[in-house]
Structure 1
Amino acid sequence: MFDNGWFQGSLLDAGTPEAVGPLGDSVERVPLTDGAWLDLRRGWISGADELFTRLMESVPWRAERRMMYERVVDVPRLLCFYGDDEQLPDPLLTEARTALNRHYAPELGEPFTTAGLCLYRDGRDSVAWHGDTIGRGSTHDTMVAIISLGTPRTLALRPRGGGAPALRYEVGHGDLLVMGGSCQRTWEHAVPKSARPLGPRISVQFRPRGVR
């Protein structure tokens, strides 16, 4: 299905025990426009390369096809979704979700309940510009918390409708990036294709109930 031969683990991660790190003051908040904001916590999951390897092997990845531009095309990444009552595929992800809820629930007003996993097999896999506006994200402020595992990839953000240059963040090896406030309605995000030979990356997206 895919070849992980290009994957290079982080030298900083080698031999590091797996653990979910603290949040609190270690989180950097970046105010955006129109009530949107972004939180970034580098290296939140230590020993993240071990988690990446387990998820590569244990998650039932599937390919999808979708209608786009009046024709059915392959989705350029592999997917797996865990709903409100489904057990997550690794105990460390359950621990991570618990820590996220402890930190963000007072501001969010509800817990993260679902987890969407995406596997970007190489630089040809991508996701186009979009906001998570299926469900309540189209009308209400919300949060999407993303843990990036494996090879770092660019996550780009830009204001919906243009008017400002895109922001670009290289995330991988256990980094946490949280989009909050009006971000899903007023900004768009993407993982662009890359012509460089890149190894695989897994994105774990935690969302509240009713947000996709």
Structure 2
Amino acid sequence: MTAEIQGLLFADPDTATGVRFRRTPLSHGAWVDVAPGWAGDPDTVFARMVEGVDWRAERRVMYDRTVAVPRLTRYFRADETWPDPALRAWCAQLSAHYADELGEPFTTAGCCYYRDGRDSVAWHGDTFGRGASHDTMVAIVSLGDQRRLSLRPRGGGRSLSFAMGHGDLVVMGGSCQRTWEHAVLKTAQHVGPRISVQFRPAGVA
């Protein structure tokens, strides 16, 4: 069963945007912050990224065959040119907002392009790198049509669901990457394209 969860605690508003963050504590020291409408000018950024990013169609080996990854991707390192100046501004704002909790800045931008409801990302945690053994954060800015971020405890348990709309921010923190899994599941509903931008600290992937 999946339940849509309303935030339980209200964190301080973002000093740059004035948007209030809604925090939902999870088990094992994990938590999720949701800030609806956090990203400024999402229409312009979405349009620029659809046309301006050199999106890549990846293929991966699964069991005994090679399959297409069901979304387009592009990863931007800290030393690369990012596709829109808004991404650098968002990264700096998030680094400032979470400076006391995270203790380091966000430095990379991973981008995913979900073309329709058939595009998805399977259950996983960002456990390549320091996320496998240390508390960290992954901040996701959502652009385009609404999709849902589903989370479930590793080892089994009730799953949770958070709506991610145009310009919304979702941040997974604490032990979330190693004690919980998250996914954007396929949907039979008619949905248009969506871009997610994931900001991570160095060494977290």
| TM > 0.5 fold call | yes
1:39-85, CA deviations, whole angstroms, 9 ceiling, x for partnerless residues?
A: 11000013212211111010110100011123211000000000121
1:52-67 matched pairs, under 5 angstroms: 52-67=46-61
What is the Cα deviation at residue 24 of structure 1? 6.9
1:22–1:208 CA distance, 2 compared to 1 (3 A): same
Query: Does 2:170 match 1:180?
Result: no
Query: Does 2:22 match 1:28?
Result: yes
Structure 1 contact 97–206 (Cα < 8 Å) conserved? yes
1:108-147 matched pairs, under 5 angstroms: 108-147=102-141
Structure 1 unaligned spans of 5+: 1-19
Residue 38 of structure 1: aligned partner: 32
1:175–1:210 CA distance, 2 compared to 1 (3 A): same
SS class of match (2:143) = strand
Query: Does 2:187 match 1:168?
Result: no
C-alpha distance in 2, partners of 1:195/1:141? 35
C-alpha distance in 2, partners of 1:167/1:141? 20
Number of residue pairs the alignment of both structures matches: 192
1:196–1:162 CA distance, 2 compared to 1 (3 A): same
1:139-196, CA deviations, whole angstroms, 9 ceiling, x for partnerless residues?
A: 1110000000000001101111112x21111102100000000000000000000111
- Percent identity, aligned pairs only, is 62
C-alpha distance in 2, partners of 1:155/1:182? 17
C-alpha distance in 2, partners of 1:178/1:117? 15
Residue 94 of structure 1: aligned partner: 88
The letter of the residue matching 2:134 is H
Structure 1 contact 77–118 (Cα < 8 Å) conserved? yes
C-alpha distance in 1, partners of 2:190/2:28? 37
CA RMSD of aligned residues (A): 1.5
Structure 1 contact 23–41 (Cα < 8 Å) conserved? no
Structure 2 unaligned spans of 5+: 1-13
What is the Cα deviation at residue 109 of structure 1? 1.1
